[in-house]
Amino acid sequence: MTQFSSPLWRHRAVRWAVAGGALHALSLSPWCAALHQAAPAVVQTMALCLLLVALWRDVSLPRQAAAATWTYGTVWLIGATGWMYVSLHRFGEMPAWLALAAVVGLCAALSLYMAAVGWGWARWRRQVWWADALLFSGLWLTAEWARAVIFTGFPWGASGYGMLGVPLVKLAPWLGVYGLGCVWVLMVAASVWAILGGRSGKARVGVPLLLAGAVLGLSKVPLHSFTQSHGRVLSVSLLQGNVAQDEKFVSERQVPMLIWHARQIVSAKGQLVIAPETAIPLLPSQLPEGYWDQIKRSFGSGSQRYALIGVPLGDFDVGYTNSVAGLSADAMAMPEGMYRYNKHHLVPFGEVIPLGFHWFVQMMNMPLGDFTRGPLNAPPFIVQDQRIAPNICYEDLYGEEIAARFRDERQAPTILANVSNLAWFGEHVAIHQHLQIARMRSLEFQLPTLRATNTGATVVIDHDGRVIHALETNTRGVLEASVQGRTGITPFAYWASRWGLWPMFALAVLLIAAGCAGVRNRTLAPLGGDGLAIH
């Protein structure tokens, strides 16, 4: 009896996929990044190599390949997003078994896209290394596209983020994070499968060396600049309140937090002060009398100061939004007496309740859990000669939605600003991963990013994706820094602002078609459980 008659879960490729998925998750951790800036890319590449070797040597049936890639994806995503358990159980007070089941179930469901990668590759492969590499990279890109788009999307931990510390990241302003991940997969698959399946020694040695040389050559090429300095340098004050999540919505503990934020906002040294998501966690009707008016007065007529403050707006009768309020002398003349950005991309279960899941949300201690959605293409907040584009929490995970603000170059942002509260998710992993996401957005648009967060990472990121000012995480303080705005449109901003992620889907289709076409089909047969024979 060969290995192919054993249960799927005992299949050797599946066992290797567990190890590969765990390595992939490790590459997204802060501990891996602390080793060296290139360590995440190296570890992530090792992870994919384990999967690719197993697929080439140990798989003959589509269901076996699907089981292996589904396992890889599930382990990868559990390791990358396991911090969700903290929000559900510790802060949401959901039973531990249900919180764990919810995290595993979500990761397993999202990995069905990866299962389709394995099934399609085994079904359509030609056992020619370059064709199979094209096919696999196209299928991988399709899976990441689907995870980013379907059911509002949840592309956290996409493979392109692992490339931040290596030369391939220079492709980000052209291709975005998903195109970057696709190029990485194509290069790794071509190298591994050329070694395993190349018909000549030249291919087995030459292809990996050629691709490694291309990466090294890319390191010598300067990053092309699509944006230029714009306007005057802006001084900023970024607040980090470090308010424990289990205290944020407890009424008897809110007064010190409200006082601290109000004092810092009013007395900030910077021309622009930014307070994090729900820095003021109460609706206007719930605030102490005069509190909000006192803050607004310090930015009124004659003031040369500006503020962006995370605060829920609205009421329980007509609905409420997760918002950023912009205060300035000019904003006071607006109909609402302030600039207002309302979060567009809401978190399922956390900020918007999907149909039929109210029972699930009711099992959590969620003070504000059903927000109204804001517009996609919101106007910028004008600060002197800079156009600030706010986004809230995990909205910066969706670069294609931020790109919508670049359709009109005259109104395109010159600075990105993210306000977040990651106290929901623990003290380390989610903070690190969200910082990597913000760095990738700065690279895609070649714009600086300001981040004001409750617990971290409160930073200033330049247009090359480098952190140039930072506040220690999980501490209370104010980051005083300066930032230079920039104007211009990257290729990614141009095509994503017009067509979203559809160009990535088209690229995936082309790669799949190229991998399937033009090569004579071959049949597969097992070799005593150790490999595959070509007939």
Catalytic residue among 32, 107, 393, 516: 393
Catalytic residue among 144, 343, 395, 444: 343
Cβ-proximal residues to 11 (8 Å cutoff; 6+ apart), any chain: 3, 4, 58, 64, 67, 68
Q: Are strands 415-420 and 319-327 parallel, antiparallel or unpaired?
A: unpaired
220 is catalytic: no
What are the distances in angstroms from CA 209 to CA 72, 204, 216? 27, 9, 10
**The amino acid at 518:** G
Q: Is 515 helix (H, G, I), strand (E, B) or coil?
A: helix
Written as six digits, the tokens of 290 are 């005069």
On whether the CB atoms of residues 375 and 391 are closer than 8 A, the answer is: no
Give the residue among 410, 54, 417, 466 at the shortest CA–CA distance from 223.
Answer: 466
Tell me, letter by letter, the H, E, C secondary structure of 237-294: EEEECCCCHHHHCCHHHHHHHHHHHHHHHHHCCCCEEEECCCCCCCCHHHCCCCHHHH
393 is catalytic: yes
Q: Map tokens 């910082």 to a residue.
A: 435
| H helix or E strand, kind and range, residue 188 | helix 172-197
Catalytic residue among 144, 277, 395, 400: 277
107 is catalytic: no
Query: Could you tell me how far CA 111 lies from the centroid of its own chain?
Result: 17
- Which are the catalytic amino acids? 277, 343, 393
